Structure 1
Amino acid sequence: MGVNAIQFQESLAGLDYPVSKEDLVRWAQETGVDTQTLKLLQSLPVERFQTPAEIGDAIIELS
Structure 2
Amino acid sequence: MLTLQEACRYLRIPEGTLRYWRHLGSGPRSFKIGRHVRYWRTDLILWLTEQTDRAQSR
Q: Which has the larger radius of gyration?
A: 2
Q: Which has the higher contact order (CA 8 A, sep 6+)?
A: 1
More strand by share: 2
TM-score clears 0.5? no
